[in-house]
Amino acid sequence: MTQATARAYPNIALVKYWGKANEDLILPAAGSMSMTLDDFATTTTVTLDETDSFSLNGAEQGEAGASRVIAFLDLVRNFARTAGLDTADQNARVVSVNEGPTAAGMASSASGFAALAVAASSAYGLELSIRDLSRLARRGSGSASRSLVDRFAVWHAGDDQSSYAEEIPAPDMAMIAVPVATGQKAVSSRKGMVATATTSPFYPAWVTSTEEILKEMIGACKDSDFTLVGEIAETHAMRMHAVIAASRPSIRYLSPTSLEVFDRIAQLRADGIETYGTADAGPNVFAITRPEHAEVVSERLRDLTKDGEAKVLRPGRGAHLVGDDAL
Ligand code: ADP
Ligand code: DP6
Ligand code: CO
């Protein structure tokens, strides 16, 4: 096969990944846990070609915009070489479209590299298990390892072999996307993490407490304890933004409107509609609630969004081939 198309969805972490143990292999300093979404898909087509090129959302990318994707193709070619495939010497054209905002804290790097891992490995003729696809996607963007997985995922800290994501059972829930600003963030996740790890005095405590909280989260998921899952998720998100803010110079991803959303979520709880909040490295907030409350929560948060729309999201599918390739 010389061409393949894949689709992947972003995932939103309930226990966050923020910091690497190994920058080259993208090994996380601690494990994390997430829900794969069922909206804001990335669709990526990889076609073997004379040269490497990358088009994102209809815009041809120059050297800077394409470098991460080309480095990823090099990795796939290395695997193809090891597997003895004669595709290993070929270049590729990558065409990708994100239905959600790019580089705005809504996990475009997760859906982007998960889709690319599935499409590129297929175009180059590699036959990889979901586990190996998760390990491969991890090398593009750490959070992408989790978008290979259906519904809820734990991404293990470990070495190159053992650091992959796999599905875990969790209480049924919905997320409500509350986009407050969808422009590109000033500091990418990649750079923000390095700044935090090297300058934030709270970073060691962040890493050890994340390991502890992940264990607690896995237990809460096993027990199907929605309340505990929600409490842990909101606390852990706030801890991440705190450790980031303590960097020097300080980095802040949340905006005043993001904080208003967290206040509104607390108000919903006070009104008996159990809802919790989380936010990745950006100002956009995701509310977590029981499925039966999703519509009312969306209604109560809508006026704080950029365009008056707060989409209800449900647990979604891991990255997969689409079209003829999926047969
Ligand atoms: P986000 O919060 O959206 O994940 P990041 O800072 O983690 O933001 O990553 C944004 C980067 O991810 C982009 O600058 C780009 O390099 C990469 N990216 C986003 N979408 C895609 C895609 N569809 N295919 C390949 N790479 C992508
Ligand atoms: C705040 O996976 O985007 O969304 O591995 O450098 O590509 P790189 O970073 P990325 O970081 C995600 C950070 C986060 C939390 C999370 O998704 O767990
Ligand atoms: Co990202």
In sequence order, what DSSP letters do the residues of 248-316 get, joined into one string?
A: SS------HHHHHHHHHHHHHHHTT--EEEEE-SSS-EEEEE-GGGHHHHHHHHGGGSSSS---EE---
> Are residue 232 and residue 132 in the same domain, yes or no?
no
Of 136, 170, 204, which residue sits at a domain end?
170
Whose alpha carbon is nearest atom 21 of ligand 1? 112
> Are residue 22 and residue 143 in the same domain, yes or no?
yes
Instruction: Classify residue 321: in a domain, yes or no.
Output: no
pLDDT recorded at residue 295: 98
Mean of per-residue pLDDT scores for the chain: 97
The H-or-E segment that residue 180 falls in is none
Return the best residue to mutate from 108, 253, 285 for the ligand 1 pocket (most ligand atoms within 8 A of CB): 108
Residue 52 is part of a domain; what is its CATH number?
A: 3.30.230.10
Instruction: Give me the residues near ligand 3 (ion), CB cutoff below 5 Å.
Output: 109, 189
Q: How far apart are CA 150 and CA 36, in angstroms?
A: 6
Alpha helix locations (H) across 83-202?
Answer: 108-123, 130-140, 189-199
Instruction: Classify residue 325: in a domain, yes or no.
Output: no
Instruction: Classify residue 93: in a domain, yes or no.
Output: yes
How far is residue 52 CA from its own chain's centroid?
A: 25
pLDDT recorded at residue 323: 85
Return the best residue to mutate from 134, 241, 280 for the ligand 2 pocket (most ligand atoms within 8 A of CB): 280
Instruction: Classify residue 327: in a domain, yes or no.
Output: no
**In the chain, how many domains are there?**
2
Q: How far is the CA of 107 from the centre of ligand 3 (A)?
A: 5
Instruction: Classify residue 324: in a domain, yes or no.
Output: no
> Are residue 164 and residue 183 in the same domain, yes or no?
no
Pocket of ligand 2 (CB under 6 A): 13, 16-18, 26, 32, 107, 109, 141-143, 189-190, 193, 280-281
Q: How far is the CA of 26 from the centre of ligand 1 (A)?
A: 15
Atom of ligand 2 at shortest distance to CA of 113? Answer: 7
Residue 243 is part of a domain; what is its CATH number?
A: 3.30.70.890
> Are residue 162 and residue 22 in the same domain, yes or no?
yes
ipTM of the complex: 0.99
pLDDT recorded at residue 287: 99
Of 170, 205, 237, which residue sits at a domain end?
170
Does the C-beta of 200 come closer than 6 Å to ligand 1?
A: no
Return the best residue to mutate from 40, 68, 189, 258 for the ligand 2 pocket (most ligand atoms within 8 A of CB): 189
Query: What contacts 190, CB < 8 A, 6 or more positions away?
Result: none
- Coil/strand/helix, residue 92: strand
> Are residue 97 and residue 211 in the same domain, yes or no?
no
> Are residue 204 and residue 155 in the same domain, yes or no?
no
Residue ranges for the chain with pLDDT beneath 50: none
pLDDT recorded at residue 152: 98
> Are residue 155 and residue 224 in the same domain, yes or no?
no
> Are residue 281 and residue 229 in the same domain, yes or no?
yes
pLDDT in tens, 196-242: 999 999 999 999 999 999 999 999 999 999 999 999 999 999 999 99
Of 170, 200, 215, which residue sits at a domain end?
170
Owning domain of residue 61? 3-170
Nearest C-alpha neighbor of 245 from the set 205, 196, 291: 196
> Are residue 114 and residue 40 in the same domain, yes or no?
yes
pLDDT in tens, 142-151: 999 999 999 9
Q: How far apart are CA 242 and CA 176, in angstroms?
A: 23
Whose alpha carbon is nearest atom 14 of ligand 1? 103
- Coil/strand/helix, residue 124: coil
Considering Cα of 68, then 281, then 306, then 115, what sign does the dihedral take?
Answer: positive
> Are residue 154 and residue 183 in the same domain, yes or no?
no
